[in-house]
Structures are given as C-alpha cells and as structure tokens.
Amino acid sequence: MPASMPPVTRALLFSNVAIFVLQQLMDPVLLQHFALWPPASGQYPGAPAFEIWQLVSYGFLHGGLTHLFFNMFALYMFGGEIERLLGSRRFATYYFVCVIGAAVAQLVVISNISGPPVPTVGASGGVFGLLLAFGMAFPQRRIMLLFPPIPMPAWVFVTLYGLLELYLGVTDSGQGVAHFAHLGGMVAGFVLLMRWRGQRRAG
C-alpha cells in the first residue's frame, strides 16, 4: 500500500480486508451480530436482532471476495483524493455519514418487504458517497470504465451511475444488490457537502 496514501483511506482499506479475513474464520458469528438486520427481524424465531451499531459495522463486512475487491478498488481510486481535499477528519466524518445514510435508506426499503429477514453488508454506501464527492470536486476529470472501457467526465459517470441505481432499485432488478443503499450514501454525502459549503459561505 503506497506510503503517500492518506491515513484514513489507508486505515479503511486495511480494516475492511482484515475483517473480511475474520469473516472467513468466524462466520456466521460476525454476520449475526454486525451485519445490518431489519428491526422486525426479531419477530422471526432464531433470527438475529437489529442493534444500533449495525448502522456502521455492516460497512466493514462483505458478501464475498468480488464484493470486497470492487469496493476496495473504488475506495483506493477515489478515497485518497477526497481525503486530501477535505482533510482527514472531515473525510472520516463524510465517509461514515454516507455509510449511515445508506443504512437508513436500506432499512426504510426492507421494512416494507415481507418474508424472512436478510442482512445487508458492504462498504458500497460509503464508496458511492466518495464517488459523488469526486464527481462534484473534479467534474471534468476523465474516468475510464472497466466494462466497457469508455472514458467519460466524472460528472457524467456519477450522474449515469446514480440514474442506473435508481432504475434498478425502482424496477427491483439485480436481486441481492442494495441499490437504494447506494443512493442513500450518495444523498447523505450530497446533503453534508452542501451543509459544509453553506458554512464556508456564511463564514
């Protein structure tokens, strides 16, 4: 890991990978206690209960190596620049506000779904918040897609990705993917960035 990488981004990468290793050794214990479970899950005998710390802890668990890889790749690509822009303290605040915002959005959605409770895991809420911040801070910076390999300005990429997530969420496509959690992370990040921008203007 590059020594020039800012400390919070480095710590997030390390902790996510380390906890994923623990998952492989300790599952299903970590999933039962630290994944994001619906508040109504307690109605089902033997189902794990919702706890307040799950609003954050779920963001350090992942559903497999591919899930971990893409989230950490995005954190590596965008986290360092956003941390340098905001400063480490604000970056940490921003990231966890996005994680919590994603969790709240997901809880609102799954509270309306009947059937056995299903946990939510992954750093995607924080990552989508970083993606939004990158698009707002560097709108003309070129981003190369992996599939297909097409370069486009950051603001176009973020806008299209957000619209795609909205479409997939509304149409209930892509089963097993928390599309509204992704959108929740982006919305929470946008609200916080606008608040900070307003504070600078007022100052």
pLDDT in tens, 11-37: 999 999 999 999 999 878 899 999 999
pLDDT in tens, 44-102: 667 788 899 999 999 999 999 999 999 999 999 999 999 999 999 999 999 999 999 99
Which domains, from first to last, does the chain contain?
Answer: 7-202 (1.20.1540.10)
Residue-level pLDDT at 19: 96
Alpha-carbon span 153 to 156, nearest angstrom: 5
Does the CA dihedral 141-79-74-136 come out positive or negative? negative
CB-based contact 75:98 (threshold 8 Å): no
Tokens of 130: 């970083």
Alpha-carbon span 18 to 4, nearest angstrom: 21
pTM for this prediction: 0.90
Q: Which of 37-41, 117-121, 135-139 has the lowest mean pLDDT?
A: 37-41
Residue-level pLDDT at 48: 85
Name the band, by pLDDT with cuts 50, 70 and 90, for residue 112.
low
pLDDT in tens, 155-185: 998 898 888 888 787 777 666 788 889 999 9
CB atoms within 10 A of CB 34: 22
